[in-house]
Chains A and B, each alone.
Chain A
Amino acid sequence: MEQIFNKISDRIYSELKDGEYLTLSLQGENSQFIRINNAKIRQTGLVNNTEVSFDFIYDNRNCQGQITLSGDLDTDYSRAVDELNRLRAEIVQLPEDPFVVLPENTGSTRESKSANGLGTDKAVDALLPIMSGVDLVGIWSSGRIFSGSSNSAGQKHWFETDTYSLDFSLVNKDHKMVKGTFAGSDWDQSQYEAYIKDAKQKLELMNKKPVKMKPGKYRTWFESKAVADFLSMFSWQGVSEANIRQGNSAFIRMRNEGTKLSPLFSLNEDFRSGLVPRFNERGEIAPEVLSIIEKGNLVNTMVSSRTAKEYKVKSNNASGEEVLRAPKMAIGSLTNEDVLQKLGTGLFLSNLHYLNWSDNIGGRITGLTRYACFWVEDSEIVGPIETMRFDDTIYNLFGGELEAVGDNAKINPEVETYDGRQYGNITCPGMLVKSFELTL
């Protein structure tokens, strides 16, 4: 597909007339999906898809398009020319856009990572047998994902990688569950089987008598995945400079009122893992590392080139959505071995569920406990808790109530598949807070 993208790019840019500017952005996947329920196969199939987006500029006007590529050069070039002509017909009807940003050539990149994964004809027999004897439900996703960018200024980027993930839940007879995600690039059958066996052992912890909690405030240890659930909220009406400027961000209090988070909390955008393309849909390269929160102080937000032009600030080449693409939270000093001791009596939460801003401007998030969440007394796990709703603010959890941060950052791979399989992960340690409010 890279060759087709390059050929279409070269030919379509040669078609441009004076004053016309174009950026093409490609996203694609060749994926296998196997949906599993009760350690049996519910649905299985493959998806091959490639979409190319057009960002067209003429006479200070801007419009966008998108087409599906078929993989046949002649068919796809014909579709691209049709789309360009449609954009040309539309753009003259549109009002001027004062914040349009012309494409530039700041250099080209290419990264291609192939792996020795599981073939689509091997996956079923490799995955299913070890699941026997347990109620496992989840999704196997694997294959190649690829992204490209080019523009009429001559810049080109390409990124492709082979990945897999088995994102699953194990369920016991009382409907208590533990969560697992086995993800990577090269397949190792023995590592996979060991991971599933380990998850089965964790499920046994859930056989303890459930504890019914009352609403109230509790000392709480959040495992890395639960912290990642909170951090993912920062990308939705949080860290975006445009959202802050337009009155739709939980970070407004930090920007406008000088509110600080805990000196124990630091957060970066960090692309050094190489798992995520550094270029955005405009082909702009993000800094390798960008500090967002430095010891509790908001030092950077995500700023796209369009936002930069509108508000006369400096772009850090964020995506148009101004989300975190490679978030990494700094570790602290609390060792895994000391977590229960330090917690004493309180909640041990492995996962959270269905987070939403209950008061975005106030930084308040509601959501639920899910999976392996326990009540701990005198540093001993008593039993799993019944599902509880919480409602608390980031200014408490990452601010005054934050007591300690774990010394071990875990990689929480992105397993969402709404617009196709995704790159990346949230890398973060667990954290201990003095107070966390359960409400229902």
Chain B
Amino acid sequence: MTQQLQNLLNAIDVPADWIGLREVDERTTVRFIRDSHPQTNARAKTHGIMVEVLANGQFGYVGTNDISKNGIQKAAEKAYQQAKLAAKYAIHSFTDAARPKTIGSYNSPYKNVFNESSPGVLNDLMIEASKVLKVSDKVISTNAFAQIVESKHRFVSSNGSDISQDFLLVTFDLVATAQDGTNINTRSAGGLRGLSRQIGAELFDEKWVLHKAKEIGDQAVELTTAEECPTGKIDLVLAPDQMMLQIHESVGHALEVDRILGDERNYAGWSFVKLDDFGKLQYGSKLMNATYDPTYTGQFASFGFDDGGLKADKEYLIKEGLLVRGLGGKESQIRSGVPGVANFRASSWNRAPVDRMGNINLEPGDSTFDEIISSVEKGVYMESNRSWSIDDYRNKFQFGCEYGKLIENGKLTKTVRNPNYRAISNPFWNSLTMIGNQDTFKMYGTPYCGKGEPSQVIRVGHASPVCLFKDVAIFGGA
């Protein structure tokens, strides 16, 4: 399967200590219907090879669009030159132990392929959904969005790695914006393009899509007459589609070992977590069990191997609230001495891998949804992220949601609009008081996680149960 790439590798003539070729051939199809009219029917194809060499303890790379034999030889020579020049200033002197020999393959799970008739079928379904989203004249705009990514990754190296991974990734979203006077509200299918997973055309079940469209349209209209979210330090219950963002920003990024090592300080920032916190820091309450799980079937960032060739396994990051492991690939594990995971990932052939999230999940507990709600005297239940911001140490965050419900005396009562909350990561996770059971556990993901210099956007997955946090600063809109 990787023979062509292997032939290119074998033909390279540079005196490097190690050489790796990582080929990405990816097609991204976007279908976007707005207000029942086609807005975008696009397919972007990108194809290139990242040539990486190790010389004098320093890796150098060239991401090249010229994938001919001559082009790869030239790229290898340039990468070798870059590595040699940089070696005397290297932050760490690596060996090929940073690129372990691995052989294997991975394929996304799916039932039905997208075939040649899919463009018309999908457009028809999304136009129908767009009509259903417009449940009344109050709905001033509707969107139906589908993104299908078919991605082939191949990796071979001079120390014997031979990896082949084929992905089929689908993102689907429905959005309605409704207006009543000056009050305008938007509701979507999970926020942040959260309906992202590894699946086939079976996702686009007509009955489910149209049911979802009606629900979203109704809720957008409902928000136009809803009260502002109240202000106060009260209880907060988060749905899994907001937990996705909460986990992502205040657990995932904070545990990236390259951030902790300072690589990211000029861009996304540092972390409140220090290297000597692993095995010691009580990150959250005893109910908190966070895992790195690239093996979760169908989740958006499931894979068999990271882009450094490390085999991907499920690992606990936080166990019963205690921080036990970092999000660090092989290079970060070598630099830091902290136990890590297979998360050395690149967005494509034209970016070098860095420590990234994959699937970061919160394991379910044993409370039912009704038990959680009935335990709250005064609070707000929030769904679907619409606003996110956190400081460069991953401490002070403020998140906003699309849809809220007041909780009064153990019952969900009125709908509220513009629900927001703000807190500091470590005390917030230690205020985790109840955690939902498997029935409340849902899987989400998003194509949009930005990081790195040069910058790159990567796919991540987050699954979580419903969670209750005590005494959180909650507030409404402008």
Which of A6-14, A43-51, A145-153 lies on the face that meets chain B?
Answer: A43-51
Q: Is the CB of B65 within 8 A of A48?
A: yes
Q: Nearest-CB distance from A118 to chain B (Å)?
A: 12
Q: A356 within 8 Å of B by Cβ?
A: yes
Which residues of A sit under 8 angstroms from B389, Cβ to Cβ? 354-356, 358, 366-368, 389
Give which listed residue, B91, B350, B454, B456, contacts A139 with CB less than 8 A: B454
Which residues of B sit under 8 angstroms from A49, Cβ to Cβ? 48, 63, 65, 350
Q: A124 within 8 Å of B by Cβ?
A: yes
Q: Nearest-CB distance from B70 to chain A (Å)?
A: 10
Which of A163-171, A182-190, A268-276 lies on the face that meets chain B?
Answer: A163-171
Q: Nearest-CB distance from B191 to chain A (Å)?
A: 13
Q: Is the CB of A40 within 8 A of B177?
A: no
A364 to B475, CA, bound (A): 13
Interface residues of B in 25-52 (CB under 8 A from A): 34, 37-38, 40-48, 52
Q: A335 within 8 Å of B by Cβ?
A: no
Q: B337 within 8 Å of A by Cβ?
A: no
Asked whether A248 and B396 contact (CB < 8 A) given A41-B58, A41-B86, the answer is: no
Residue of chain A at shortest CB distance from B335? A42
Q: B79 within 8 Å of A by Cβ?
A: yes
Which of A66-74, A191-199, A377-385 lies on the face that meets chain B?
Answer: A66-74
Q: Nearest-CB distance from A168 to chain B (Å)?
A: 6
Q: Is the CB of B140 within 8 A of A48?
A: no
Interface string of B338-371 (1 = CB under 8 A from A): 0000000000001110100000000000000000
Interface residues of B in 149-182 (CB under 8 A from A): 177, 179, 182
Interface residues of A in 161-183 (CB under 8 A from B): 167-169, 171, 175, 177, 179
Q: Is the CB of B398 within 8 A of A48?
A: no
A429 to B59, CA, bound (A): 41
Give which listed residue, B46, B62, B263, B350, contacts A37 with CB less than 8 A: B263
Give which listed residue, A42, A246, A362, A440, contacts B478 with CB less than 8 A: A362
Which of B112-120, B203-211, B234-242, B294-302 lies on the face that meets chain A?
Answer: B112-120
Q: A116 within 8 Å of B by Cβ?
A: no
A389 to B123, CA, bound (A): 43
Residue of chain B at shortest CB distance from A75? B68
Q: Nearest-CB distance from A188 to chain B (Å)?
A: 21
Residue of chain A at shortest CB distance from B476? A359
Q: Is the CB of A40 within 8 A of B82?
A: no
Which residues of A sit under 8 angstroms from B42, Cβ to Cβ? 63-66
Q: A293 within 8 Å of B by Cβ?
A: no
Q: B336 within 8 Å of A by Cβ?
A: no
Q: B232 within 8 Å of A by Cβ?
A: no
Interface residues of A in 348-384 (CB under 8 A from B): 353-364, 366-368, 370
Which residues of A sit under 8 angstroms from B424, Cβ to Cβ? 440
Residue of chain A at shortest CB distance from B351? A47
**How big is the B interface, by class?**
35 or more
Q: Is the CB of A246 within 8 A of B140?
A: yes
Q: Is the CB of A41 within 8 A of B41?
A: no
Give which listed residue, A43, A65, A363, A391, contacts B352 with CB less than 8 A: A43
Q: A62 within 8 Å of B by Cβ?
A: yes
Residue of chain B at shortest CB distance from A168? B266
Asked whether A354 and B391 contact (CB < 8 A) given A35-B453, A177-B265, the answer is: yes
Residue of chain A at shortest CB distance from B352? A43
A39 to B86, CA, bound (A): 12
Q: B418 within 8 Å of A by Cβ?
A: yes
Q: Is the CB of A63 within 8 A of B140?
A: no
Which of A92-100, A282-290, A399-407 lies on the face that meets chain B?
Answer: A92-100
Q: Is the CB of B41 within 8 A of A40?
A: no
A106 to B42, CA, bound (A): 26
Q: Is the CB of A137 within 8 A of B477?
A: no
Which residues of A sit under 8 angstroms from B64, Cβ to Cβ? 48
Which residues of B sit under 8 angstroms from A231, Cβ to Cβ? none
Q: A158 within 8 Å of B by Cβ?
A: no
Which residues of A sit under 8 angstroms from B82, Cβ to Cβ? 32, 44-46, 120
Q: Is the CB of A71 within 8 A of B65?
A: yes
A344 to B477, CA, bound (A): 31
Residue of chain A at shortest CB distance from B177? A247
Q: Nearest-CB distance from B183 to chain A (Å)?
A: 8
Asked whether A359 and B46 contact (CB < 8 A) given A41-B89, A44-B82, A90-B41, the answer is: no
Q: Is the CB of A358 within 8 A of B263?
A: no
Q: A257 within 8 Å of B by Cβ?
A: yes
Q: Nearest-CB distance from A185 to chain B (Å)?
A: 19
Q: Nearest-CB distance from A210 to chain B (Å)?
A: 14
Q: A34 within 8 Å of B by Cβ?
A: yes
A360 to B263, CA, bound (A): 32
Asked whether A93 and B119 contact (CB < 8 A) given A359-B418, A417-B455, the answer is: yes
Which residues of B sit under 8 angstroms from A97, Cβ to Cβ? 37-38
Which residues of B sit under 8 angstroms from A68, Cβ to Cβ? 45-48, 65
Interface string of A236-248 (1 = CB under 8 A from B): 0000000001111
Q: B243 within 8 Å of A by Cβ?
A: no
Best-surrounded residue of B116, B123, B389, B477 (most CB of chain A within 10 A): B389
Residue of chain A at shortest CB distance from B390? A354
A440 to B391, CA, bound (A): 11
Best-surrounded residue of B37, B45, B48 (most CB of chain A within 10 A): B45
Q: Is the CB of B387 within 8 A of A356?
A: yes
A175 to B473, CA, bound (A): 28
Q: Nearest-CB distance from A298 to chain B (Å)?
A: 16
Q: Nearest-CB distance from B152 to chain A (Å)?
A: 14
Asked whether A137 and B262 contact (CB < 8 A) given A362-B478, A364-B477, A366-B387, the answer is: yes
Which residues of B sit under 8 angstroms from A316, Cβ to Cβ? none
Which residues of B sit under 8 angstroms from A370, Cβ to Cβ? 269, 391-392
Task: Report, nearest first, the 4 A-B pairs whose CB atoms are least far apart.
Answer: A362-B478, A93-B120, A45-B61, A64-B42
17 A-B residue pairs with CB within 8 Å? A45-B62, A46-B63, A66-B43, A89-B116, A94-B119, A95-B38, A171-B262, A353-B269, A354-B392, A357-B387, A358-B389, A358-B400, A364-B478, A366-B398, A388-B396, A417-B455, A440-B424
Binding site for A on B (CB under 8 A): 34, 37-38, 40-48, 52, 58-68, 71, 75, 78-79, 81-83, 85-86, 89-91, 116-117, 119-120, 123-124, 127, 140-141, 177, 179, 182, 184, 186, 261-263, 265-267, 269-270, 350-352, 354, 387-393, 395-396, 398, 400, 418, 420, 422, 424, 450, 453-457, 473, 477-478
Known pairs A62-B41, A253-B182, A354-B392. 14 more at Cβ < 8 A?
A: A45-B60, A63-B42, A64-B40, A64-B42, A67-B45, A94-B123, A98-B37, A125-B85, A246-B140, A247-B141, A366-B398, A387-B392, A389-B391, A416-B455
